[in-house]
A and B are shown apart, each in its own frame.
Chain A
């Protein structure tokens, strides 16, 4: 019972704190007059200083599910169903969305972000179950920009403190390759293009592993690598009928989008295969080039581990190569073997196994930076500062030019 207050009607001191629904009230138990609502004050002066807890700062918001949250949860479930995810995924994704919604930053975010958040929750769920869903696919499904998506994704991962595993490449290969329309004969496709799914899958997987080992996958978007690998696998399974087919045509026939970097990845993989082919005696004689090496991919894949060891120096060998002057030597190595030039009876010296970005020559020569001894407290000469100031004549000229510019801008608007 708060001290010092009396009912204004009956002046009784029997004031009781009672709640009308969830609103706290101070009621006189004698006459039933409501003295105050929502305040518990001791003196009149205090009343001015006390403030109720605003709804947005109370926990009331968390207990109720707002309409936009309901909409978001519905969209999460719909997205899971469209992607034909197992039902357990749905519950996990919904739980993530609810968890995210508890944070004030998300609750007050724009609708666009909330839409994207739906996709983020589904993606995190898929990643945790090793379900190969790429961000590109997800963004097309929720009609979102990849940059907006990436921002929201990074934020939500940090906010929820989650440890999201990386995309499982093996699963992605299986799912992506299964989506190729090459396994059933269709009238618009030559008969030689049809391929057995299992053979193509296993060979694509081996090629992707090879790319992973030779630094072609790290730091790059995974999908173009898989497209290039699938193309090579498909070509090598029946070279005579398929060598003439280009990568673009292959994607068209398979009813799959051609990702832009896929051709670059294809060239890189062919270069690696040619390098490996140099180590096999019977292939060295053949003087393979980028087209003919496809016929021998099966052999190369069979012995890929030993060939990579022989064809490339590993990490320890790298250091000697570096000390001896890396760039010019490597360039001739890469240039020589990829062009298939005969380099005498002996195989080309082992090249360096490095990511392609390290094999390219630097665009600008690396100049040693000039060391300037600056204390930060040097005197600043007046002349140096004055070079940045306009003289009065220049100011007038500038003002005149500005006025003239404005006039010409307004002129076409005049009737």
Chain B
């Protein structure tokens, strides 16, 4: 059976069907449609004003590669300039290969690249060291908690180094859907209340962040990378199997089989959640140690690092244990989970 014609240009044969609408399109039209949608997201949300210096969080993976490519195509129209910022978490056997991919991309696209390493920023703590420190407590390692918080801090530092005014990351709709599911399953009302927008405006001196790919489904991101023949690093992190997000990801895959629009439905739900005022996070202040945005006395990065230094890595993980204050009084033992 010959392939149907492209529904958009009616000239070429269709090369793919779009996952959400089932429409048949040829490669060029699909890429054009994808880029147009990202452009619309950015313009409609007024995410990147003209003249902005945008730091792209590049990990070498498919999302950030596609993001960098699309933004590079759209940069003249938006009037922004791009800088690549890569974060080296110090995960052996994974991050070095990914960074090599980022370096190749930077060379190919002629974009300035800055690499910030955990070891430099956080006093010699690489993720491997953190993993070793949190291991052996009998429970799951929770090193993904550390990595997430520290990476955002590192990205912020890297962006400041290159003089950026905005930070963009390549989170897609599936990521947002997984985040909602995960937050619900873990009962994280604070994050549920905070999430669900197109990015944060940047309060308290933090740089505004956004996620232009937020409404694109993961399958389309992969298809785009395929049709544009982008070179990216596709293995998963060494510690990924232990993450709680794996459960949410597995669930989302099953849901998408039962209902193709599941990711978009979840994003819609997340936007419309109404949480009680008591459950919402307090208005953000400044961290007493480093001055960054924080909703408590210490920002989460400082609190986590504190715990690591003291040899009690679980100090800042979980709800409201006594370890947040600087004196570290009342060694409250973490209750059994």
Indicate, yes or no, whether A interacts with B: no
Where the two chains meet, the residues of A that have a C-beta atom closer than 8 Å to any C-beta of B are none
Instruction: Show the binding face of B for A, using Cβ within 8 Å.
Output: none
